[in-house]
């Protein structure tokens, strides 16, 4: 996190990124180019089994206004307009998906030294209203995340979280799924010089009485190459190697194997992102 407690999704994010970010079993490719007037155009493709998905997106930044437009293979148009700091600490986000007429949404985010607030409302006659707030500082933060459906008059989501951070350790406790799932996680920086860290996440489902545990680590072999590994209580072990072979151009290879059924073929994922 930066200055202050940040927003609700920031709680536990370091551990989640360590354990889950960039792991995949698909094949992905993206290429970004820039026009003379500064518009970024990104073409992406992903092969998921026998299915191939692709999209083309553009990003235009004009002063403090960023416009993102993406078209995918399902002929859906995703548009997001972000106005950064129309007032100190405030961010306004307007998004919609065409042709879905119920997808329009306006979101306001406010960051303060001791609070982080995000609220959004759907642009429909009976919208979903989402509110999340975090109070605290760089050391301790307490937050909540709720969603209210005005059509049914019911809360569709209510979560709570607590975070404790030091210079090298971040621990969090999150209550999700309408208080049915409790997740505890931690992220510990072992060596800042080599970006070496370890992390773990333990979840307990009250209604199912089931537990899940994932532990992982990361280490930078050099300033451009990072390796990560993780294993969970189901015996699924994963590892990845990520190399930035030129600025902002990244190659990632990841693999996954079921240690309880070693005779099965390992899953291998590849991702290549090219930027000039």
Q: d(Cα 96, Cα 3) in Å, to the nearest integer?
A: 30
Model pLDDT for residues 199-209, shown as the tens digit of each residue: 999 999 999 99
Model pLDDT for residues 158-208, shown as the tens digit of each residue: 999 999 999 999 999 999 999 999 999 999 999 999 999 999 999 999 999
Percent of the chain with pLDDT over 90: 84
Model pLDDT for residues 207-233, shown as the tens digit of each residue: 999 999 999 999 999 999 999 999 999
Options 1.20.1730.10, 2.40.160.10, 3.60.21.10, 1.10.238.10; CATH for 8-274 is: 2.40.160.10
First to last CA, the chain: 29
Q: Which two tokens stand for residue 48?
A: 């998921």
pTM reported for the whole predicted model = 0.91
- Domain residue ranges in the chain: 8-274
The mean-pLDDT minimum among 25-29, 154-158, 183-187, 264-268 falls in 264-268
Mean pLDDT taken over the chain? 94
Q: Which two tokens stand for residue 161?
A: 């979280």
Quickly count: other Cβ atoms within 10 Å of residue 15's Cβ. Answer: 25
Q: d(Cα 126, Cα 143) in Å, to the nearest integer?
A: 26
Answer positive or negative: Cα dihedral of 72, 75, 78, 79: positive
| Per-residue pLDDT, 173 | 98
* Position 1 pLDDT exceeds 50: no
Contact 165, 1 (CB under 8 A): yes
Q: Which two tokens stand for residue 85?
A: 């700091």
**Mean pLDDT for the stretch of residues 140-158:** 96
Q: d(Cα 204, Cα 61) in Å, to the nearest integer?
A: 43
| Per-residue pLDDT, 151 | 93
Contact 242, 251 (CB under 8 A): yes
Model pLDDT for residues 74-128, shown as the tens digit of each residue: 899 999 999 999 889 999 999 999 999 889 999 999 999 999 999 999 999 999 9
């Amino acid at each position: 996190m930066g200055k202050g407690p940040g927003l609700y999704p920031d709680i536990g994010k370091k551990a989640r990124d360590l354990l889950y970010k960039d792991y995949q079993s698909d094949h992905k490719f993206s290429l970004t180019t820039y026009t003379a007037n500064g518009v970024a155009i990104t073409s992406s493709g992903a092969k998921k089994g026998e299915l191939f998905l692709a999209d083309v997106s553009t990003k235009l930044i004009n002063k403090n206004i960023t416009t993102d437009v993406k078209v995918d293979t399902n002929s859906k148009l995703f548009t997001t307009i972000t106005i950064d700091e129309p007032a100190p600490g405030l961010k306004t986000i307007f998004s919609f998906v065409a042709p879905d007429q119920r997808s329009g949404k306006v979101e306001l985010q406010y960051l303060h030294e001791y609070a982080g607030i995000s609220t959004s409302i759907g642009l429909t006659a009976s919208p979903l209203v989402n509110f999340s707030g975090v109070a605290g500082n760089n050391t301790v933060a307490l937050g909540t995340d709720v969603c209210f459906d005005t059509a049914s008059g019911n809360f569709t989501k209510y979560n709570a979280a607590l975070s404790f951070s030091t210079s090298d350790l971040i621990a969090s406790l999150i209550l999700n799924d309408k208080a049915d799932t409790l997740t505890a996680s931690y992220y510990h920086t072992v060596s800042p010089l080599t970006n070496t860290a370890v992390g773990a996440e333990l979840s307990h489902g009250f209604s199912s009485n089931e537990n899940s545990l994932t532990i992982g680590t990361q280490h930078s072999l050099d300033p451009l190459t990072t390796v990560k590994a993780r294993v969970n209580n189901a015996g699924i072990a994963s590892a990845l190697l990520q190399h930035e072979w030129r600025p902002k151009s990244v190659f990632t290879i990841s693999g996954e194997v079921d240690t309880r059924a070693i005779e099965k073929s390992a899953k291998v994922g590849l991702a290549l992102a090219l930027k000039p």
